[in-house]
Structure 1
Amino acid sequence: MVVGFRVALDARRIVGNRRGVGQYVWQLAKNLPAAAPGVEFLLLLDRILPEGSLPPGCRQVVVGRQHVTLSQSLSGLGSKVYSQYWMNVLVPRVLAAKKVSLFHATNFAVPLVSPCPVVVTIHDLIYARAPGAFESGYERYLSLMTPIAVRRADHVIADSEATRADLMSACRVVHDRISVIHLGVSDEFRPCNEPEYLKCVRATLKLPARFVLHVGAVERRKKLETLVEAAAPLLKSSIVDAVVLAGEAGFGSDAVWRAAEHLGIRDRVLHLGYVPQEMLPGLYNLALVLTLASAYEGFGMPILEAMACGTPTIVSDVSSLPEIAGDAALLVRPGDADGLSRALRSLVTDDCLRQEIRRRGLARAGVFTWQRTAEAHVDVYRRVMRRHPIRAQRTNV
């Protein structure tokens, strides 16, 4: 990539609790400078990062003010309206003033008019492939904005081949306009032999001895009622002590608690809420099994994090999950409680199977690195700027 180019990223999600998209942008910010020496990376934020937390090689630019919502509904309508103003009025001004060569819209939304080429990342098409996953108003919002984003962008990045196929089908994007770039897994996720750290995590999170884990928002598309039903026989026969759900409550979460209540295991389904990043490796290491038997996922980062920690995994056989898991996980149909229950029992009670899936998982996770992810992004940036040499102006630095 030519020295003197300046790339800006929508980095709003890296401030505060970093969920999936926040982790994606944060890891890009940490790894892009090494992948493209001499290129300046600007992180466009709506609030300042705490002192000392800015990744080396990046510069932050605060645009507007904090006025965002993480809710998957239209309840925060004012925040969503402001987000459109931020993206379509404030961001283009900054891109022009800073002589930005390329803008990376990291989470669906793009400016309708931009003074430089735009690359957009589309992480999933939940609204199209798992209807009912969000409130109806928010689904309509996504169904309107996502096709606009992919049409306006100069190039599209998808997290998986499954998402590329969804984009081609639902949004009629041609194959060559989409690059598939798998996400990575951080070095902090690894088998842990630090008893004091694990003891601290167990005590802080109040974890039982033997538990089945789910990491991610507690929401309708995750099919967690199925997990509760599948785990009930194992809980009642004391094969496991609890089901642990790590993630904030989202749309449809009430159905999970009702299912647990109905089955008489409400006190054995533990909801941790958001778990700080520094405790996640310990949580994975302490779990017997991770399950991600969702109706739809655009990637499925918890799979790789669990595998990297040596925790056996069970995933759905739909969307991106078989692509990411490879042969290193047990596959079940989403909504199949009996099948999931059999898979759980097998991994918990069959030590040979458990060790084999663990071995495969560790090998599989090693294929996915954030360095490779960043290098692939730089390759996309380079190709887009070569196609638009006039709009991708060099800076004077």
Structure 2
Amino acid sequence: MENKKKASLEVVFFHRKPRTVGNYSVEFIFEDVRKRLNGKINSRVVVSAYESAGLFKRLYNCYQAWRNQGQVNHITGDVNYLGLLLKRNATIQTILDCVHLNSSRGIKYSVLKLFWLSIPERRAKFITAISESTKQEILRHHKCDPNKIVVIPVAISSKFKKAEKPFNKECPRILQVGTAPNKNIPKLIEALQGLPCVLNIVGKQNDAYEALLKKYNIQYIYEWGLTDEQIMERYEQADILSLVSTYEGFGMPILEAQAVGRAVITSTLYSMPEVAGEAAVMVDPFVASEIRKGLEKVINDDSFRTDMIARGFENIKRFDPEVIAEKYLNLYQNVILSHSIS
């Protein structure tokens, strides 16, 4: 797949083969980058032949990447090992997070670190991290030149737009996007006990979560397999976005809610304060009473909530798609410049 307009700068985007379930699609992020750089770069997309599972499938993916190298090679995340056979001075690695390293120990940790961080770093001219938090995590796990890691955040999609809605103080609708363990849903459910509300969970069904919801007599809506349009509708229907995760590499729902004009409660950990700016309630995600206190502040304090939503509209300007696309263009040009100097 190539841009219609030709440009002298060729960039090959290497994408994982998407799993049938479980991935937030970073492919859409770089599809938007390519569209905005149309005429400035000549882009090609190479999707790995196999899902990232098993030695031989991964080796074939590396071989496929080697055969499709370009002037600049951009590995867009989750398949870091593809850089094994690519030209070092022409390769950029995007690292989305270090969640698997954080949760691994012993031999498993050593193997993951070698193939998902150490070798990819040595085989790349630059690394991009989607947050300063992720950059610091990379440096904690692997010693390298900090200047080699460039922070380029995720852009907020222009599809998410301001949608006016009266706030429902009597029974607010709280949106929770994602059901992975790091989303901290059991603690959120505990915090909601006795609070009149509707919890709208978007994510894979989990019997344990449903059992807790019924135990605490919380009104809820559980949805899975929604289209992009339906997800946007859920933001518009919501009064509050909750993302009290114990870990996030970025935290895209924060920006999506701010763009729509919704109140946000999130965690004090990792990238979430960085992404939310001063436009969210920050809470300790391990303490249910803190989550509860934050929610009650949003529900009961009208002026606080209104001011926070206004600050959200200002905050998302930092993640403008045009600005993010230009950051990538500058990086691609720096790779070419380093070629000419060397």
- TM-score, with length taken from structure 1: 0.75
Q: CA RMSD in A?
A: 2.8
Match of 1:31 in 2: 36
The CA deviation string for residues 16-54 of structure 1, in whole angstroms up to 9 with x for no partner, is 888242332222222232xxx3421001135xxxxxxxx
Residue in structure 2 matching 1:213, options 154, 175, 184: 175
Match of 1:93 in 2: 67
Match of 1:174 in 2: 145
Residue identity in the other structure for 1:152: R
- Judged with a 3 Å threshold, the aligned counterparts in structure 2 of structure 1 residues 38 and 379 are, in CA distance, closer, same or farther, namely closer
Where structure 2 has 5 or more consecutive residues not aligned to the other structure, the ranges are 1-5, 166-170
**Contact in 1 for aligned 2:194/2:216 (Cα 8 Å):** no
1:368 aligns with 2:339: no
1:333 Cα deviation from its structure 2 partner: 0.8
**Contact in 1 for aligned 2:66/2:85 (Cα 8 Å):** yes
1:113 Cα deviation from its structure 2 partner: 1.5
Question: How many equivalent residue pairs?
Answer: 327
1:390 Cα deviation from its structure 2 partner: 8.9
**Contact in 1 for aligned 2:19/2:51 (Cα 8 Å):** no
**Contact in 1 for aligned 2:15/2:77 (Cα 8 Å):** no
1:231 aligns with 2:192: yes
1:180 Cα deviation from its structure 2 partner: 0.4
Residue identity in the other structure for 1:146: W
For residues 28 and 109 of structure 2, what CA distance do their matches in structure 1 show?
24
Match of 1:10 in 2: 14
1:369 Cα deviation from its structure 2 partner: 1.1
1:348 Cα deviation from its structure 2 partner: 1.9
1:245 aligns with 2:198: no
For residues 68 and 255 of structure 1, what CA distance do their matches in structure 2 show?
29
- Judged with a 3 Å threshold, the aligned counterparts in structure 2 of structure 1 residues 350 and 186 are, in CA distance, closer, same or farther, namely same
- Judged with a 3 Å threshold, the aligned counterparts in structure 2 of structure 1 residues 145 and 258 are, in CA distance, closer, same or farther, namely farther
1:260 aligns with 2:213: yes
Q: Which SS does the other structure have where 2:200 is aligned?
A: strand
Task: Spell out the pairing of 1:271-310 with structure 2 (5 A cutoff).
Answer: 271-310=222-261
Residue identity in the other structure for 1:82: K
- Judged with a 3 Å threshold, the aligned counterparts in structure 2 of structure 1 residues 21 and 356 are, in CA distance, closer, same or farther, namely same
- Judged with a 3 Å threshold, the aligned counterparts in structure 2 of structure 1 residues 184 and 248 are, in CA distance, closer, same or farther, namely same
Residue in structure 2 matching 1:384, options 327, 331, 335: 335
Task: Spell out the pairing of 1:36-115 with structure 2 (5 A cutoff).
Answer: 37-45=39-47, 65=49, 67-68=50-51, 77-78=53-54, 81-86=56-61, 88-95=62-69, 100-108=70-78, 109=80, 110-115=82-87
Residue identity in the other structure for 1:120: Q
- Judged with a 3 Å threshold, the aligned counterparts in structure 2 of structure 1 residues 155 and 264 are, in CA distance, closer, same or farther, namely same
Match of 1:59 in 2: none
The CA deviation string for residues 273-300 of structure 1, in whole angstroms up to 9 with x for no partner, is 2321122222112111101111111111
Match of 2:3 in 1: none
1:121 Cα deviation from its structure 2 partner: 0.4
Residue identity in the other structure for 2:60: Y
1:178 Cα deviation from its structure 2 partner: 0.4
**Contact in 1 for aligned 2:72/2:336 (Cα 8 Å):** yes
Q: Which SS does the other structure have where 2:143 is aligned?
A: coil
Q: Which SS does the other structure have where 2:242 is aligned?
A: strand
1:139 Cα deviation from its structure 2 partner: 6.5
- Judged with a 3 Å threshold, the aligned counterparts in structure 2 of structure 1 residues 21 and 254 are, in CA distance, closer, same or farther, namely farther
**Contact in 2 for aligned 1:11/1:44 (Cα 8 Å):** yes
Q: Which SS does the other structure have where 2:44 is aligned?
A: strand
Q: Which SS does the other structure have where 1:313 is aligned?
A: strand
User: After the TM superposition, which parts of structure 1 deviate over 4 Å for at least 4 consecutive aligned residues?
Assistant: 12-18, 135-141
For residues 258 and 220 of structure 1, what CA distance do their matches in structure 2 show?
16
Residue identity in the other structure for 2:257: A
Q: Which SS does the other structure have where 1:331 is aligned?
A: strand
For residues 121 and 306 of structure 1, what CA distance do their matches in structure 2 show?
25
- Judged with a 3 Å threshold, the aligned counterparts in structure 2 of structure 1 residues 82 and 230 are, in CA distance, closer, same or farther, namely same
1:255 Cα deviation from its structure 2 partner: 4.3
Choose between structure 1 and 2 for higher RCO, CA contacts under 8 A separated by at least 6 residues: 1
**Contact in 2 for aligned 1:13/1:21 (Cα 8 Å):** no
- TM-score, with length taken from structure 2: 0.86
Residue in structure 2 matching 1:120, options 93, 117, 121: 93
1:158 aligns with 2:132: no
Q: Which SS does the other structure have where 1:296 is aligned?
A: coil
**Contact in 2 for aligned 1:8/1:41 (Cα 8 Å):** yes
The CA deviation string for residues 58-117 of structure 1, in whole angstroms up to 9 with x for no partner, is xxxxxxx4x326xxxxxxx44x7424421x11111122xxxx101100014133111461
**Contact in 2 for aligned 1:228/1:260 (Cα 8 Å):** yes
1:149 aligns with 2:120: yes
Residue identity in the other structure for 2:132: E
1:14 Cα deviation from its structure 2 partner: 7.6
Q: Which SS does the other structure have where 1:233 is aligned?
A: coil
Q: Which SS does the other structure have where 1:182 is aligned?
A: coil
For residues 332 and 369 of structure 1, what CA distance do their matches in structure 2 show?
26
Match of 2:168 in 1: none
